[in-house]
């Protein structure tokens, strides 16, 4: 793994000629992702992120923690016990340098040994599920990581709006698979990573998967096509 996201985070933190990241998906063109967006303060976060952080309690696992902005807020402003987890080594190093006290560089599927009151998956948290065929694998992994009365706070976007419509309002979507299954590619300083599978989920599809894997689910926030959901053990 080239860890281009981590390299951009590292360059920005150390002021080593950082550049904006570029991202693209199998249904969208190249888009700029300003690297300083990954270092934003609570006041700069969107409504879904702010609500998820406000609802966090107890011992927290921040999955896909990136540069550590969510973890830092929970640790420093809400005095919570937070473990920041990410597969990017450079991102984890920067999170440590920014003051995140507990970090681990690991894929969530390889993580074990602790349980939590809150598990956070933000910035399209369903993305790590990769595809519809793997949702059950990830939800079965998360279930035993939750303490009784614990919560998973996860967000996503229904990307149906990105597909063309006909005159009658019908939507042209690909016939091969679920429309939220995308290939996601990161570019940085002339380098490109291999595309990864990234999953956007409409709420009803997440609801069905959650209920089939031992969770109850409620929608906490709806913001246009994006939403924040809370999963709890049945």
Output the six-digit token pair for 13: 């933190």
In this structure, what are the phi and psi dihedrals at residue 61, rounded to the nearest 5 degrees? -110, 115
Could you please state the CATH topology (level 3) that the domain comprising 4-159+174-233 is classified under: Rossmann fold (3.40.50)
The answer to whether the beta carbons of residues 2 and 89 sit under 8 Å apart is no
pLDDT in tens, 39-54: 999 999 999 999 999 9
With tokens 């807020």, the residue in question is 73
Report strand pairing: 116-121 vs 146-157: parallel
Q: How confident is the model at residue 213 (pLDDT cuts 50, 70, 90)?
A: very high
Contacts (Cβ under 8 Å, ≥6 apart) of 181: 131, 132, 197, 199
Length of the chain equals 234
Q: In terms of pTM, does the model score above 0.85?
A: yes
Closest CA to 192 of 24, 66, 27: 24
pLDDT in tens, 63-84: 999 999 999 999 999 999 999 9
């Amino acid at each position: 793994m080239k860890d281009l996201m981590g390299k951009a985070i590292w360059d920005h933190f150390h002021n080593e000629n950082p550049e904006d990241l570029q991202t693209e998906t199998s249904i969208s063109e190249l888009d700029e992702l300003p690297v300083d967006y990954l270092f934003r303060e609570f006041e700069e976060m969107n409504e879904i992120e702010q609500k998820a952080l406000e609802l966090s309690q107890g011992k927290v696992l921040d999955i896909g923690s990136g540069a550590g902005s969510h973890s830092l807020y929970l640790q420093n402003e809400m005095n919570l016990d937070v473990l920041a987890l990410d597969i990017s080594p450079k991102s984890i190093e920067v999170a440590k340098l920014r003051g995140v006290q507990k970090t681990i560089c690991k894929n969530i599927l390889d993580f074990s040994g602790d349980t939590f009151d809150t598990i956070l998956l933000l910035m399209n948290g369903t993305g790590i599920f990769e595809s519809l065929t793997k949702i059950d694998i990830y939800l079965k992994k998360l279930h035993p990581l939750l303490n009784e009365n614990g919560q998973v706070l996860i967000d996503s976007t229904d990307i149906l709006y990105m597909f063309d419509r006909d005159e009658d309002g019908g939507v042209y979507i690909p016939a091969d698979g679920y429309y939220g299954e995308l290939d996601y590619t990161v570019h940085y300083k002339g380098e490109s990573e291999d595309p990864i599978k990234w999953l956007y989920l409409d709420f009803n599809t997440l609801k069905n998967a959650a209920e089939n894997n031992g969770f109850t689910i409620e929608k906490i926030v709806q913001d246009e096509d994006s939403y924040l959901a809370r999963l709890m053990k049945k």
